[in-house]
Structure 1
Amino acid sequence: MDWLERMNRAMNYIEQNLAGEINGKEVAKLACCPEYHFPRMFSSMTGLTLSEYIRRRRLSQAAFELQNNSSVKIIDLALKYGYDSPDAFSRAFKNLHGTTPTEARSIGIDLKAIPRLSFQITIKGDVEMDYRIEVLEFEIEIVGVKQKVVTKDAFMMIPKLWEEASTNGFIHKLIDMSWENPQCKMEGILGVCGKQATITDEEFDYFMGCRYANEFSSDMEKIVLPKSTWAVFPNITDAWQRLYTEWLPTSGYELADLPCIENYLAPDRVPNSELWVPVIPK
């Protein structure tokens, strides 16, 4: 029940600030969720990115204002709802509604109303959630490179980093390294998200690497994680969707002060990805 109230608090904040600045950090804070993780969870639960939902709600409200206030100026609506110019606003408006803001003033024009989201109680738990607990009784040495990521844009930036790594051959280098004397089940290509599971800074280091204990080239570096306990979930996308709303509230665990790790396995593996979440007993 708590998570339901938190998500609706976040939605209330968005609704109250459609005509102003919406702070992504504040949205995540109200939902009691790490800023980096909230957009992923939101997208998985709703099928929309957070920015797309906000954009659609603003354009929906703009359409209501055009219908209800014949004297409102388009340039004022553009500035009110976060657009730099009337032209940019008009293009976005037409993409959603299929008509221009000027035409939308007319009676009988078809427009799209985008309802505000609210989270309600639904039946959960009818689909089992696979996981395992891994207790690693040794330090984890990960070799790779750091990339600076803007927290609010991480949902878009990180896939682009992996695309670039595939293009320039870095992923293949990591694959070759990961096959050398693997030490535990975290044997894939790893994405280490910041320094803690809860990311609150505006930027964080995303470390792209693999488990490796041998000598490595000077263009790479090593991070070491201490002995720790991990909840491991198959399928990264599904895991992000259900971690906070289904597993964590009833698991008897809470997040440890270590980063979450995305573990990408061979394409022919089933599943071909895992989410490693650092946990400690409550």
Structure 2
Amino acid sequence: MLERLNQAMEHIERHLDQRIEVAELARLALTSEYHFRRLFSALAGIPLSEYIRRRRLTVAGAQVLAGEETLLDIAVRYGYGSAEAFARAFRAVHGVGPGEARRTGAVLYSQPRMSFRLIIEGSSSMRYRIVEKEEFRLVGKKARVPLVHEGMNPAIVAFIRSIDQETVRRMERLSDQEPQGVVNVADHVADGREEGTELDYYHGVVTSAVAPEDMETLTVPAGTWAVFESSGAFPQALQYLWRDVFTQWFPSNPYRSRPGPEISRTRLSQDGTEADAELWIPVERVAD
């Protein structure tokens, strides 16, 4: 898997001055576009689109300083339709416009080329199981919230606090299958998982029942789910579990992620600092 990922990275380097199709990168990595974007962002720590943009502007920066071509020629080569658009993107990465950089010989920022390698630690194991589920409903309250990678998500905390206890008890009575009880659901998460991008968040239950009029319904098709368990500090245990699933479990197992909601179930300690977490990720088996 890592060898194929590195072939995709080499393809990016060879085509920085051309249109880079994610479909081709996924083909080289022997996976789907959806899974490639998510796996890349988990491994690299930045979205695929942002990495490509930074690499292009790193190479363009060197050419700006070299002074052998016009700024417009460089802009067009790297996909910018005008000198103004190029200047805005250049300044966002380097903190200075291309014209000023050329005149003053400014210090520019560089995005290094990335490659992936396997580090064998073996210090811990992941508890997981594979579950086949028929079509089911997620029923509960819904909000549009920003994605937060680490720490508490203020928007989610405020949303959950706004739900009265009687509504939560009515939700709980609807729960009739795994994962049992009230769950947290992230749906329509951006493929690159950029910090601050918005997602649909549900606070509800998994059920076969019809939703009450004051609750939202998300119908989830039948499919395969990988279910992971973890215990530790809250909310880090759950956030780190998601990271470890993509950086450790997927590269080592014959599965890839598929579109669908990510479901988490947490049981907090009395003081709210520790949690037992369960994470449900929609997956599909990779053909041998």
TM over 0.5: yes
Is residue 276 from structure 1 mapped to residue 281 from structure 2 by the alignment?
yes
Give the TM-score of the pair, scaled to structure 2: 0.66
Query: Per-residue displacement from partner, 1:233-277 (whole Å, max 9, x unpaired)?
Result: 4456444544355324545x5469895633254774625562334
Superposition map of 1:21-170 within 5 A: 21-70=19-68, 72-106=69-103, 108-120=105-117, 122-133=118-129, 135=131, 140-143=136-139, 159=147
Query: Is the contact between residue 139 and residue 224 of structure 1 (CA under 8 Å) also seen in structure 2?
Result: yes
Query: Is the contact between residue 260 and residue 277 of structure 1 (CA under 8 Å) also seen in structure 2?
Result: yes
Name 1:213's counterpart in structure 2.
208
**Partners of 2:284 and 2:180 in 1: how far apart?**
16
SS at match of 2:279: strand
What's the Cα RMSD here? 4.3
Query: Per-residue displacement from partner, 1:7-52 (whole Å, max 9, x unpaired)?
Result: 1111122212211212223223322333223333222222222122
Letter matched to residue 275 of structure 1: W
Is residue 189 from structure 1 mapped to residue 194 from structure 2 by the alignment?
no
Query: Per-residue displacement from partner, 1:77-133 (whole Å, max 9, x unpaired)?
Result: 22222223312211221232233212333574322232211113x422334243232
Query: Is the contact between residue 257 and residue 281 of structure 2 (CA under 8 Å) also seen in structure 1?
Result: no
Is residue 19 from structure 1 mapped to residue 13 from structure 2 by the alignment?
no
Letter matched to residue 9 of structure 1: Q
**Partners of 1:140 and 1:279 in 2: how far apart?**
18
Gaps of 5+ in 2: 190-199, 231-236
Gaps of 5+ in 1: 147-156, 195-205
**Partners of 1:256 and 1:100 in 2: how far apart?**
40
**Partners of 2:285 and 2:94 in 1: how far apart?**
49
Query: Is the contact between residue 262 and residue 282 of structure 2 (CA under 8 Å) also seen in structure 1?
Result: yes
Query: Per-residue displacement from partner, 1:65-84 (whole Å, max 9, x unpaired)?
Result: 123343x1222222222223
Name 1:262's counterpart in structure 2.
263
Distance of aligned partners of 1:76 and 1:239 in 2 relative to their CA distance in 1, 3 Å threshold: farther
Superposition map of 1:203-242 within 5 A: 210-217=205-212, 221=217, 223=219, 226=222, 230-234=226-230, 237-242=239-244
**Partners of 1:214 and 1:258 in 2: how far apart?**
23
Distance of aligned partners of 1:125 and 1:175 in 2 relative to their CA distance in 1, 3 Å threshold: farther
Calculate percent identity across the aligned residue pairs. 27
**Partners of 2:133 and 2:71 in 1: how far apart?**
63
Name 2:173's counterpart in structure 1.
180
**Partners of 1:34 and 1:265 in 2: how far apart?**
30
Give the TM-score of the pair, scaled to structure 1: 0.67
Query: Is the contact between residue 144 and residue 207 of structure 1 (CA under 8 Å) also seen in structure 2?
Result: no
Query: Is the contact between residue 39 and residue 247 of structure 2 (CA under 8 Å) also seen in structure 1?
Result: no
Query: Is the contact between residue 91 and residue 98 of structure 2 (CA under 8 Å) also seen in structure 1?
Result: yes
Distance of aligned partners of 1:220 and 1:27 in 2 relative to their CA distance in 1, 3 Å threshold: same
Q: CA deviation at 1:53?
A: 1.0
Distance of aligned partners of 1:15 and 1:271 in 2 relative to their CA distance in 1, 3 Å threshold: farther
SS at match of 2:42: helix
